[in-house]
């Protein structure tokens, strides 16, 4: 088990920051697709993070039961930091943009739902980053 096993999940991990960049630049109008971009970005990001989270268990198990990788392979250990960083950034940017794109009648009270989502996204992003 090496950190390179995480690489197949990286395409899913890039979708979240890309969705955040798209939503940040979209103009809010009656017919835009910003809400769909946020939902799709969060779904793809969390699928990618779920895959890497399962691989983290194998990776930590390997580090506990065996010694550190050989010296030339130790820089690859920094690869395992990326998924949490990508997910943290994605959740933050998508959560901060959610109140701007949600309809006023969303879940009964759109502005309140947007505000709650923004607060939750901020705390989840900080938790993942830490």
Stretch 91-113: mean pLDDT: 89
Digit-coded pLDDT (tens) for 11-68: 899 999 999 999 888 866 555 788 899 999 999 999 999 999 888 888 888 888 988 8
What DSSP string runs through the chain?
A: --GGGGGGGHHHHHHHHHHHHHHHHSPP-TT--HHHHHHHHHHHHHHHHHHHHHHHHHHHHHHHHS-PPPGGGGGGGGGGGHHHHHHHHHHHHHHHHHHHHS-TTGGG-HHHHHHHHHHHHHHHHHHHH-
- Give me the helix-helix angle, 10-25 and 34-65, nearest 10°: 150
Asked if 92 and 121 count as a contact pair (C-beta separation under 8 A), the reply is yes
| Residue matched to tokens 């943290």 | 88
Digit-coded pLDDT (tens) for 75-95: 888 888 888 888 999 999 999
> Which pair of structure tokens corresponds to residue 39?
């939902």
């Amino acid at each position: 088990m090496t950190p390179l096993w995480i690489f197949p999940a990286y395409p899913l991990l890039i979708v979240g920051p890309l969705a955040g960049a798209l939503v940040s630049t979209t103009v809010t109008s009656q017919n835009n697709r910003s809400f769909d971009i946020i939902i799709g970005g969060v779904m793809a990001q969390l699928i990618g993070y779920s895959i890497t989270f399962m691989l983290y268990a194998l990776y930590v198990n390997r580090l506990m039961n065996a010694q550190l990788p050989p010296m030339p392979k130790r820089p690859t250990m920094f690869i395992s930091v990326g998924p949490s960083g990508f997910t943290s950034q994605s959740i933050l940017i998508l959560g901060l943009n959610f109140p701007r794109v949600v309809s006023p009648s969303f879940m009964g009270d759109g502005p309140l739902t947007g505000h709650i989502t923004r607060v939750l996204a901020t705390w989840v992003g900080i938790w993942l980053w830490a």
